[in-house]
Amino acid sequence: MYAQMVDTGQSRLAGLAELSPEERAFQSRIDADVKIEPRDDMPEAYRRTLIRQIQQHAHSEVVGMLPEGNWITRAPSLQRKATLMAKVQDEAGHGLYLYCAAETLGVSRDRMIEDLHAGKVRYSSIFNYPTLTWADIGTIGWLVDGAAIMNQIPLCRCSFGPYARAMIRVCKEESFHQRQGFDILMTLCRGTAAQKAMAQDALDRWWWPSLMMFGPPDAESVHSAQSARWKIKLLSNDELRQRFVDQTVPQADYLGLTMPDPELRWNDARGHYDFGEIDWQEFHEVLKGHGPCNHDRMATRIKAWEDGAWVREAALAHAAKRAARQREAA
Amino acid sequence: MSTGTEWPLWEVFIRSQHGLAHKHVGSLHAPDAAMAIRNARDVYTRRNEGVSIWVARSADLHASSPDERDALFDPAGDKVYRHPTFFPMPDEVKHL
Ligand SMILES: [Fe+2]
Ligand SMILES: [Fe+2]
Protein backbone atom coordinates (compact mmCIF):
# COMPACT_ATOMS: atom_id res chain seq x y z
CA MET A 1 0.00 0.00 0.00
CA TYR A 2 1.25 3.54 0.57
CA ALA A 3 3.38 1.87 3.23
CA GLN A 4 4.47 -1.44 1.70
CA MET A 5 6.28 -4.21 3.59
CA VAL A 6 6.94 -2.19 6.73
CA ASP A 7 9.79 -3.69 8.75
CA THR A 8 8.87 -4.17 12.43
CA GLY A 9 12.41 -5.07 13.47
CA GLN A 10 11.15 -8.48 14.66
CA SER A 11 12.49 -11.78 13.39
CA ARG A 12 9.52 -13.74 14.71
CA LEU A 13 6.29 -13.12 16.54
CA ALA A 14 6.92 -13.49 20.28
CA GLY A 15 4.54 -15.65 22.30
CA LEU A 16 2.50 -13.66 24.84
CA ALA A 17 4.34 -15.42 27.68
CA GLU A 18 7.67 -14.09 26.39
CA LEU A 19 6.63 -10.45 26.66
CA SER A 20 8.01 -8.33 29.50
CA PRO A 21 5.47 -7.05 32.06
CA GLU A 22 5.58 -3.61 30.37
CA GLU A 23 5.03 -5.11 26.92
CA ARG A 24 2.18 -7.21 28.23
CA ALA A 25 0.55 -4.15 29.85
CA PHE A 26 0.94 -2.29 26.55
CA GLN A 27 -0.57 -5.19 24.58
CA SER A 28 -3.55 -5.38 26.90
CA ARG A 29 -4.24 -1.67 26.32
CA ILE A 30 -4.12 -2.30 22.55
CA ASP A 31 -6.40 -5.32 22.93
CA ALA A 32 -8.87 -3.18 24.87
CA ASP A 33 -8.87 -0.66 21.96
CA VAL A 34 -7.29 2.07 24.06
CA LYS A 35 -5.68 4.64 21.75
CA ILE A 36 -1.96 5.16 22.29
CA GLU A 37 -0.93 8.83 22.47
CA PRO A 38 2.58 10.24 21.82
CA ARG A 39 3.58 10.69 25.45
CA ASP A 40 2.27 7.32 26.62
CA ASP A 41 4.69 4.48 27.35
CA MET A 42 5.20 2.30 24.30
CA PRO A 43 7.68 -0.41 23.30
CA GLU A 44 10.60 0.95 21.30
CA ALA A 45 9.78 -1.44 18.42
CA TYR A 46 6.22 -0.09 18.21
CA ARG A 47 7.55 3.48 18.05
CA ARG A 48 10.16 2.67 15.41
CA THR A 49 7.74 0.66 13.26
CA LEU A 50 5.17 3.46 13.34
CA ILE A 51 7.77 6.06 12.42
CA ARG A 52 8.70 3.90 9.43
CA GLN A 53 5.11 3.22 8.40
CA ILE A 54 3.79 6.78 8.77
CA GLN A 55 6.88 8.17 7.10
CA GLN A 56 6.51 5.85 4.07
CA HIS A 57 2.88 6.86 3.88
CA ALA A 58 3.78 10.59 4.01
CA HIS A 59 6.50 10.25 1.36
CA SER A 60 4.02 8.42 -0.90
CA GLU A 61 1.57 11.32 -0.67
CA VAL A 62 4.31 13.79 -1.55
CA VAL A 63 6.00 11.80 -4.34
CA GLY A 64 2.50 10.92 -5.57
CA MET A 65 2.02 14.56 -6.57
CA LEU A 66 4.68 14.24 -9.27
CA PRO A 67 3.01 11.94 -11.85
CA GLU A 68 -0.19 13.99 -11.68
CA GLY A 69 1.53 17.36 -11.46
CA ASN A 70 2.97 16.62 -14.90
CA TRP A 71 -0.52 17.03 -16.36
CA ILE A 72 -1.69 20.25 -14.68
CA THR A 73 -0.52 22.41 -17.58
CA ARG A 74 -1.96 19.98 -20.13
CA ALA A 75 -5.42 19.38 -18.65
CA PRO A 76 -8.03 19.52 -21.42
CA SER A 77 -10.20 22.25 -19.86
CA LEU A 78 -10.03 24.95 -17.23
CA GLN A 79 -12.40 22.95 -15.00
CA ARG A 80 -10.25 19.82 -15.28
CA LYS A 81 -7.19 21.90 -14.51
CA ALA A 82 -8.74 23.48 -11.39
CA THR A 83 -9.91 20.06 -10.23
CA LEU A 84 -6.51 18.46 -10.73
CA MET A 85 -4.77 21.31 -8.90
CA ALA A 86 -7.18 20.90 -5.97
CA LYS A 87 -6.53 17.16 -5.94
CA VAL A 88 -2.75 17.54 -6.01
CA GLN A 89 -2.94 20.23 -3.31
CA ASP A 90 -4.91 17.77 -1.15
CA GLU A 91 -2.10 15.23 -1.55
CA ALA A 92 0.39 17.83 -0.27
CA GLY A 93 -1.91 18.30 2.72
CA HIS A 94 -2.06 14.52 3.30
CA GLY A 95 1.72 14.43 3.34
CA LEU A 96 1.79 17.25 5.89
CA TYR A 97 -0.78 15.65 8.23
CA LEU A 98 1.25 12.45 8.16
CA TYR A 99 4.65 14.08 8.69
CA CYS A 100 3.17 15.83 11.74
CA ALA A 101 1.82 12.52 13.07
CA ALA A 102 5.28 10.95 12.68
CA GLU A 103 6.93 13.95 14.37
CA THR A 104 4.91 13.30 17.55
CA LEU A 105 7.00 10.11 17.86
CA GLY A 106 10.23 12.09 18.09
CA VAL A 107 11.60 12.15 14.54
CA SER A 108 12.26 15.53 12.89
CA ARG A 109 10.80 16.59 9.55
CA ASP A 110 14.23 17.31 8.07
CA ARG A 111 15.44 13.88 9.12
CA MET A 112 12.55 12.17 7.34
CA ILE A 113 13.16 14.15 4.17
CA GLU A 114 16.88 13.38 4.30
CA ASP A 115 16.10 9.68 4.71
CA LEU A 116 13.81 9.74 1.69
CA HIS A 117 16.41 11.51 -0.44
CA ALA A 118 19.14 9.13 0.71
CA GLY A 119 16.96 6.19 -0.36
CA LYS A 120 16.75 4.86 3.21
CA VAL A 121 12.96 5.02 3.33
CA ARG A 122 10.59 3.87 0.61
CA TYR A 123 7.49 5.35 -0.93
CA SER A 124 4.79 3.38 -2.73
CA SER A 125 5.84 1.40 -5.81
CA ILE A 126 2.89 2.83 -7.78
CA PHE A 127 4.42 6.29 -8.20
CA ASN A 128 7.31 4.92 -10.21
CA TYR A 129 5.18 4.44 -13.31
CA PRO A 130 4.85 7.15 -15.99
CA THR A 131 1.70 9.14 -16.83
CA LEU A 132 1.72 8.97 -20.61
CA THR A 133 -1.72 10.30 -21.54
CA TRP A 134 -4.62 12.27 -20.04
CA ALA A 135 -6.43 8.94 -19.51
CA ASP A 136 -3.71 8.05 -17.00
CA ILE A 137 -4.91 10.92 -14.77
CA GLY A 138 -8.42 9.47 -14.80
CA THR A 139 -7.09 5.98 -14.13
CA ILE A 140 -4.91 7.11 -11.23
CA GLY A 141 -7.86 8.80 -9.51
CA TRP A 142 -10.08 5.78 -10.07
CA LEU A 143 -7.63 2.96 -9.26
CA VAL A 144 -4.77 4.42 -7.22
CA ASP A 145 -6.87 6.67 -5.02
CA GLY A 146 -9.47 3.89 -4.91
CA ALA A 147 -6.88 1.46 -3.58
CA ALA A 148 -5.61 4.10 -1.15
CA ILE A 149 -9.11 4.60 0.26
CA MET A 150 -9.53 0.84 0.70
CA ASN A 151 -6.35 0.81 2.79
CA GLN A 152 -6.91 4.05 4.67
CA ILE A 153 -10.46 3.51 5.92
CA PRO A 154 -9.45 0.69 8.31
CA LEU A 155 -6.44 2.77 9.45
CA CYS A 156 -8.88 5.35 10.88
CA ARG A 157 -9.27 2.75 13.67
CA CYS A 158 -5.55 2.07 14.18
CA SER A 159 -4.08 2.09 17.68
CA PHE A 160 -1.96 5.26 17.43
CA GLY A 161 -4.10 8.37 18.06
CA PRO A 162 -2.31 10.91 15.82
CA TYR A 163 -2.15 8.45 12.89
CA ALA A 164 -5.84 7.54 13.25
CA ARG A 165 -6.82 11.22 13.37
CA ALA A 166 -4.71 12.02 10.29
CA MET A 167 -6.39 9.14 8.44
CA ILE A 168 -9.84 10.47 9.30
CA ARG A 169 -8.96 13.84 7.73
CA VAL A 170 -7.41 12.14 4.71
CA CYS A 171 -10.40 9.84 4.11
CA LYS A 172 -12.81 12.80 4.17
CA GLU A 173 -10.91 14.37 1.29
CA GLU A 174 -10.09 11.23 -0.64
CA SER A 175 -13.47 10.28 -2.13
CA PHE A 176 -13.50 13.35 -4.38
CA HIS A 177 -10.17 12.13 -5.79
CA GLN A 178 -11.61 8.81 -6.85
CA ARG A 179 -14.75 10.36 -8.31
CA GLN A 180 -12.95 12.97 -10.38
CA GLY A 181 -10.85 10.15 -11.86
CA PHE A 182 -13.88 8.04 -12.73
CA ASP A 183 -15.52 11.13 -14.21
CA ILE A 184 -12.56 11.65 -16.55
CA LEU A 185 -12.83 8.03 -17.70
CA MET A 186 -16.61 8.23 -18.20
CA THR A 187 -16.07 11.22 -20.46
CA LEU A 188 -13.38 9.43 -22.46
CA CYS A 189 -15.39 6.20 -22.72
CA ARG A 190 -18.42 8.10 -24.05
CA GLY A 191 -16.20 9.94 -26.53
CA THR A 192 -14.62 8.96 -29.83
CA ALA A 193 -13.16 5.52 -30.54
CA ALA A 194 -9.69 7.02 -30.09
CA GLN A 195 -10.61 8.42 -26.67
CA LYS A 196 -12.03 5.10 -25.55
CA ALA A 197 -8.90 3.33 -26.79
CA MET A 198 -6.84 5.79 -24.75
CA ALA A 199 -8.83 4.85 -21.63
CA GLN A 200 -8.36 1.13 -22.33
CA ASP A 201 -4.62 1.61 -22.83
CA ALA A 202 -4.32 3.42 -19.49
CA LEU A 203 -6.25 0.64 -17.71
CA ASP A 204 -4.01 -1.98 -19.36
CA ARG A 205 -0.92 -0.28 -17.91
CA TRP A 206 -2.25 0.63 -14.44
CA TRP A 207 -4.32 -2.41 -13.44
CA TRP A 208 -1.52 -4.73 -12.34
CA PRO A 209 0.60 -2.05 -10.63
CA SER A 210 -2.56 -1.02 -8.73
CA LEU A 211 -3.01 -4.59 -7.45
CA MET A 212 0.65 -4.61 -6.40
CA MET A 213 0.02 -1.55 -4.22
CA PHE A 214 -1.44 -3.83 -1.53
CA GLY A 215 1.87 -5.65 -1.23
CA PRO A 216 2.72 -9.37 -1.44
CA PRO A 217 0.55 -11.97 0.32
CA ASP A 218 1.31 -11.55 4.01
CA ALA A 219 0.26 -14.95 5.31
CA GLU A 220 3.84 -15.87 6.20
CA SER A 221 5.10 -12.39 7.05
CA VAL A 222 6.35 -11.85 10.61
CA HIS A 223 6.08 -8.10 10.17
CA SER A 224 2.44 -8.26 9.13
CA ALA A 225 1.60 -10.48 12.10
CA GLN A 226 3.34 -8.11 14.51
CA SER A 227 1.70 -5.05 12.96
CA ALA A 228 -1.69 -6.75 13.18
CA ARG A 229 -1.12 -7.49 16.87
CA TRP A 230 -0.27 -3.82 17.45
CA LYS A 231 -3.35 -2.79 15.42
CA ILE A 232 -1.41 -0.64 13.03
CA LYS A 233 -2.42 -3.00 10.23
CA LEU A 234 -6.06 -4.03 10.43
CA LEU A 235 -6.67 -6.14 7.35
CA SER A 236 -4.33 -8.40 5.41
CA ASN A 237 -2.91 -7.42 2.02
CA ASP A 238 -4.86 -10.18 0.27
CA GLU A 239 -8.13 -9.25 1.98
CA LEU A 240 -7.79 -5.63 0.89
CA ARG A 241 -6.75 -6.63 -2.63
CA GLN A 242 -9.76 -8.95 -3.02
CA ARG A 243 -12.12 -6.21 -1.82
CA PHE A 244 -10.56 -3.83 -4.30
CA VAL A 245 -10.97 -6.26 -7.21
CA ASP A 246 -14.57 -7.04 -6.24
CA GLN A 247 -15.48 -3.38 -6.09
CA THR A 248 -13.59 -2.30 -9.22
CA VAL A 249 -14.50 -4.94 -11.82
CA PRO A 250 -18.18 -3.88 -12.05
CA GLN A 251 -17.02 -0.26 -12.45
CA ALA A 252 -14.84 -1.28 -15.41
CA ASP A 253 -17.86 -3.14 -16.84
CA TYR A 254 -19.89 0.05 -16.56
CA LEU A 255 -17.23 1.94 -18.48
CA GLY A 256 -17.18 -0.79 -21.13
CA LEU A 257 -13.48 -1.41 -20.50
CA THR A 258 -11.78 -4.81 -20.27
CA MET A 259 -9.47 -5.74 -17.40
CA PRO A 260 -6.12 -6.94 -18.79
CA ASP A 261 -6.47 -10.32 -17.06
CA PRO A 262 -7.74 -13.35 -19.01
CA GLU A 263 -8.16 -15.31 -15.77
CA LEU A 264 -10.47 -12.76 -14.19
CA ARG A 265 -13.93 -14.23 -13.59
CA TRP A 266 -16.67 -14.28 -10.99
CA ASN A 267 -16.49 -17.27 -8.67
CA ASP A 268 -19.99 -18.04 -7.43
CA ALA A 269 -18.81 -20.49 -4.78
CA ARG A 270 -16.42 -17.99 -3.22
CA GLY A 271 -18.63 -14.98 -3.81
CA HIS A 272 -15.58 -13.14 -5.14
CA TYR A 273 -13.74 -12.53 -8.39
CA ASP A 274 -10.85 -14.89 -9.12
CA PHE A 275 -7.92 -13.18 -10.77
CA GLY A 276 -4.55 -14.04 -12.33
CA GLU A 277 -1.10 -14.28 -10.81
CA ILE A 278 0.62 -10.98 -9.95
CA ASP A 279 4.17 -10.48 -11.22
CA TRP A 280 5.92 -10.05 -7.86
CA GLN A 281 9.27 -9.97 -9.59
CA GLU A 282 8.26 -6.64 -11.15
CA PHE A 283 7.08 -5.35 -7.76
CA HIS A 284 10.38 -6.16 -6.06
CA GLU A 285 12.36 -4.62 -8.92
CA VAL A 286 10.39 -1.37 -8.59
CA LEU A 287 10.90 -1.33 -4.81
CA LYS A 288 14.62 -1.84 -5.34
CA GLY A 289 14.67 1.31 -7.46
CA HIS A 290 14.49 -0.27 -10.93
CA GLY A 291 11.02 0.90 -11.96
CA PRO A 292 10.50 3.06 -15.04
CA CYS A 293 10.55 6.39 -13.11
CA ASN A 294 12.31 5.81 -9.74
CA HIS A 295 15.32 7.85 -10.76
CA ASP A 296 13.23 10.68 -12.18
CA ARG A 297 10.97 10.96 -9.14
CA MET A 298 13.86 11.16 -6.67
CA ALA A 299 15.79 13.64 -8.82
CA THR A 300 12.72 15.91 -9.00
CA ARG A 301 12.14 15.71 -5.23
CA ILE A 302 15.76 16.45 -4.37
CA LYS A 303 15.92 19.36 -6.81
CA ALA A 304 12.74 20.88 -5.33
CA TRP A 305 14.19 20.56 -1.82
CA GLU A 306 17.54 22.06 -2.76
CA ASP A 307 16.07 24.85 -4.89
CA GLY A 308 13.82 25.78 -1.97
CA ALA A 309 16.63 25.97 0.58
CA TRP A 310 17.18 29.72 0.17
CA VAL A 311 13.44 30.36 0.74
CA ARG A 312 13.46 28.39 3.98
CA GLU A 313 16.57 30.24 5.19
CA ALA A 314 15.31 33.68 4.14
CA ALA A 315 11.94 33.18 5.85
CA LEU A 316 13.70 32.22 9.07
CA ALA A 317 16.08 35.22 8.87
CA HIS A 318 13.15 37.53 8.17
CA ALA A 319 11.22 36.17 11.17
CA ALA A 320 14.26 36.62 13.43
CA LYS A 321 14.76 40.22 12.24
CA ARG A 322 11.12 41.08 12.76
CA ALA A 323 11.13 39.57 16.25
CA ALA A 324 14.26 41.60 17.14
CA ARG A 325 12.65 44.81 15.86
CA GLN A 326 9.54 44.12 17.96
CA ARG A 327 11.66 43.55 21.06
CA GLU A 328 13.44 46.89 20.49
CA ALA A 329 10.16 48.73 20.08
CA ALA A 330 8.77 47.23 23.29
CA MET B 1 21.38 18.71 2.04
CA SER B 2 19.37 20.24 4.91
CA THR B 3 19.85 23.74 6.25
CA GLY B 4 20.14 22.31 9.75
CA THR B 5 17.55 24.82 10.97
CA GLU B 6 13.97 23.67 10.81
CA TRP B 7 11.10 26.12 10.99
CA PRO B 8 9.48 25.84 14.43
CA LEU B 9 6.40 23.70 14.98
CA TRP B 10 3.01 25.32 15.63
CA GLU B 11 -0.24 23.81 16.90
CA VAL B 12 -3.32 24.86 14.95
CA PHE B 13 -6.82 25.47 16.36
CA ILE B 14 -9.81 26.15 14.12
CA ARG B 15 -13.24 27.53 15.00
CA SER B 16 -15.88 26.24 12.61
CA GLN B 17 -18.93 28.19 11.52
CA HIS B 18 -21.30 26.60 14.00
CA GLY B 19 -20.41 28.77 16.96
CA LEU B 20 -18.28 26.10 18.61
CA ALA B 21 -15.00 26.62 20.44
CA HIS B 22 -11.66 26.52 18.65
CA LYS B 23 -10.61 22.91 18.25
CA HIS B 24 -7.14 21.47 17.81
CA VAL B 25 -6.78 20.17 14.25
CA GLY B 26 -3.08 19.43 13.91
CA SER B 27 0.27 21.12 13.58
CA LEU B 28 2.61 22.58 10.97
CA HIS B 29 5.98 24.24 10.53
CA ALA B 30 6.31 27.97 9.87
CA PRO B 31 8.98 30.65 10.44
CA ASP B 32 6.64 32.95 12.39
CA ALA B 33 3.05 33.35 13.60
CA ALA B 34 1.87 35.25 10.52
CA MET B 35 3.14 32.52 8.18
CA ALA B 36 1.78 29.82 10.50
CA ILE B 37 -1.71 31.32 10.10
CA ARG B 38 -1.35 31.54 6.30
CA ASN B 39 -0.11 27.96 6.09
CA ALA B 40 -2.88 26.79 8.42
CA ARG B 41 -5.39 28.41 6.05
CA ASP B 42 -3.96 26.33 3.19
CA VAL B 43 -3.50 23.08 5.08
CA TYR B 44 -6.55 22.95 7.33
CA THR B 45 -9.33 25.10 5.79
CA ARG B 46 -9.48 24.17 2.11
CA ARG B 47 -13.17 23.23 2.38
CA ASN B 48 -14.70 25.94 4.57
CA GLU B 49 -13.74 24.12 7.77
CA GLY B 50 -13.31 27.34 9.71
CA VAL B 51 -13.87 31.03 10.22
CA SER B 52 -11.08 31.64 12.71
CA ILE B 53 -7.57 30.26 13.26
CA TRP B 54 -5.41 30.23 16.38
CA VAL B 55 -1.78 29.14 16.26
CA ALA B 56 0.55 28.59 19.22
CA ARG B 57 4.17 27.53 19.27
CA SER B 58 4.21 23.83 20.21
CA ALA B 59 7.15 24.59 22.52
CA ASP B 60 4.90 26.96 24.52
CA LEU B 61 2.21 24.36 25.24
CA HIS B 62 2.26 22.64 28.61
CA ALA B 63 0.51 19.32 28.97
CA SER B 64 -0.40 17.05 31.85
CA SER B 65 1.72 13.94 32.00
CA PRO B 66 0.25 10.50 31.31
CA ASP B 67 1.95 9.37 34.56
CA GLU B 68 -0.26 11.63 36.66
CA ARG B 69 -3.43 10.57 34.89
CA ASP B 70 -4.77 8.69 37.91
CA ALA B 71 -3.80 11.36 40.44
CA LEU B 72 -5.45 14.07 38.35
CA PHE B 73 -8.55 12.37 37.09
CA ASP B 74 -9.42 9.57 39.52
CA PRO B 75 -10.93 11.93 42.12
CA ALA B 76 -13.78 12.73 39.70
CA GLY B 77 -14.55 9.04 39.25
CA ASP B 78 -16.51 8.42 42.44
CA LYS B 79 -18.52 11.64 42.55
CA VAL B 80 -21.63 10.39 40.83
CA TYR B 81 -23.68 13.01 42.70
CA ARG B 82 -22.24 15.60 40.33
CA HIS B 83 -24.49 14.21 37.62
CA PRO B 84 -28.25 14.80 37.40
CA THR B 85 -28.88 11.09 36.89
CA PHE B 86 -27.84 10.49 40.53
CA PHE B 87 -31.17 11.94 41.70
CA PRO B 88 -34.14 9.77 40.76
CA MET B 89 -37.25 11.82 39.95
CA PRO B 90 -40.80 10.52 40.18
CA ASP B 91 -42.50 10.09 36.78
CA GLU B 92 -45.31 12.47 37.74
CA VAL B 93 -42.91 15.35 38.25
CA LYS B 94 -42.38 17.14 34.97
CA HIS B 95 -39.79 19.61 33.68
CA LEU B 96 -37.10 18.71 36.20
FE1 LIG C 1 -3.79 11.17 -0.48
FE1 LIG D 1 -5.78 11.05 -3.10
pLDDT digits (tens, 9 = 90+) for A44-57: 999 999 999 999 99
pLDDT for the residue A2: 77
| Rounded Cα–Cα distance for residues A205 and A212 (Å) | 12
Instruction: Tell me which chain A residue has its CA closest to the CA of residue B27.
Output: A100
Give a yes or no: residue B79 inside a domain: yes
Contact indicator for A109, A48 with CB cutoff of 8 Å: no
Q: Tell which wins on pLDDT, B2 or A132.
A: A132
Residue A246 pLDDT greater than 60, yes or no: yes
- Strand ranges in chain A using DSSP code E only, listed in sequence order: 265-267, 272-274
Give a yes or no: residue B29 inside a domain: yes
Average pLDDT of the segment spanning B25-44? 96
Say if the Cβ atoms of A169 and B26 lie within 8 Å: yes
Residue B76, burial from CB neighbour count under 10 angstroms (0-12, 13-18, 19+): exposed
Confidence tier at A155 by pLDDT (50, 70, 90): very high
C-alpha of residue A209 to centroid of ligand 1, in Å: 17
Please give the helix or strand (H or E) that residue B65 lies within, else none.
none
pLDDT for the residue A181: 97
Residue A276 φ/ψ region, left for φ over 0, alpha for ψ in the -120 to 50 degree band, beta for the rest: beta
Confidence tier at A205 by pLDDT (50, 70, 90): very high
pLDDT for the residue B2: 44
Give a yes or no: residue B44 inside a domain: yes
Give the ipTM.
0.88
CA distance B1 to chain A (A): 7
Contact indicator for A51, A70 with CB cutoff of 8 Å: no
Confidence tier at A15 by pLDDT (50, 70, 90): confident
Domain with B62, as residue range(s), is 9-86
Q: Tell which wins on pLDDT, A222 or A297.
A: A297
* Cα four-point dihedral sign A8, A149, A283, A137: negative
Q: Which of A262, A264, A215, A267 is nearest to A241 (CA)?
A: A215
Chain A residue numbers with beta carbons less than 8 Å from the beta carbon of B31 are 315-316, 318-319
Contact indicator for A34, A250 with CB cutoff of 8 Å: no
C-alpha of residue A186 to centroid of ligand 2, in Å: 19
Question: Residues of chain B with pLDDT > 70: what percent?
Answer: 96
Which strands form B23-29's sheet, in the order they lie side by side? B23-29, B9-15, B52-57
Tell me whether A166 touches chain B (CB under 8 Å): yes
Question: Residues of chain A with pLDDT > 90: what percent?
Answer: 89
| Rounded Cα–Cα distance for residues A152 and A171 (Å) | 7
Contact indicator for A88, A65 with CB cutoff of 8 Å: yes
Residue A313 pLDDT greater than 50, yes or no: yes
C-alpha of residue A25 to centroid of ligand 1, in Å: 34
Distant-in-sequence, close-in-space partners of A51: CB < 8 Å, separation ≥ 6: A102, A105, A106, A107
- Average pLDDT value over all residues in chain A: 94
User: Is 0.80 surpassed by the pTM of this model?
Assistant: yes
pLDDT for the residue B3: 47
Give a yes or no: residue B95 inside a domain: no
CATH of the domain at B82: 3.10.20.520
Give a yes or no: residue B1 inside a domain: no
pLDDT for the residue A16: 77
pLDDT for the residue A316: 94
Number of domains in chain B: 1
Say if the Cβ atoms of A110 and B27 lie within 8 Å: no
Average pLDDT of the segment spanning A294-308? 96
Chains A, B: CB contacts within 8 A come to 60
Tell me whether B3 touches chain A (CB under 8 Å): yes
Q: Tell which wins on pLDDT, A259 or A21.
A: A259
Chain A residue numbers with beta carbons less than 8 Å from the beta carbon of B28 are 96, 100
CA distance A228 to chain B (A): 25
| Rounded Cα–Cα distance for residues A53 and A234 (Å) | 13
- Give contacts of A 71-90 with B, CB under 8 A: 86, 89-90
pLDDT for the residue B69: 87
pLDDT for the residue A224: 86
Tell me whether B68 touches chain A (CB under 8 Å): no
Confidence tier at B4 by pLDDT (50, 70, 90): low
Tell me whether A100 touches chain B (CB under 8 Å): yes
Give a yes or no: residue B27 inside a domain: yes
Neighbours of A299 (CB within 10 A): 11
Q: Which of A238, A207, A91 is nearest to A144 (CA)?
A: A207
Q: Which amino acid is at A164?
A: A
| Rounded Cα–Cα distance for residues B29 and B42 (Å) | 13
Give a yes or no: residue B93 inside a domain: no
CA angle, A100 as apex, A97 and A101 as ends, to 5°? Answer: 85
C-alpha of residue A117 to centroid of ligand 2, in Å: 22
Pick from B2, B32, B63: which is nearest to A319 by CB?
Answer: B32
Confidence tier at A1 by pLDDT (50, 70, 90): low
CA distance A34 to chain B (A): 13
Give a yes or no: residue B65 inside a domain: yes
CA angle, A31 as apex, A28 and A32 as ends, to 5°? Answer: 90
Say if the Cβ atoms of B26 and A100 lie within 8 Å: yes
pLDDT for the residue A220: 65
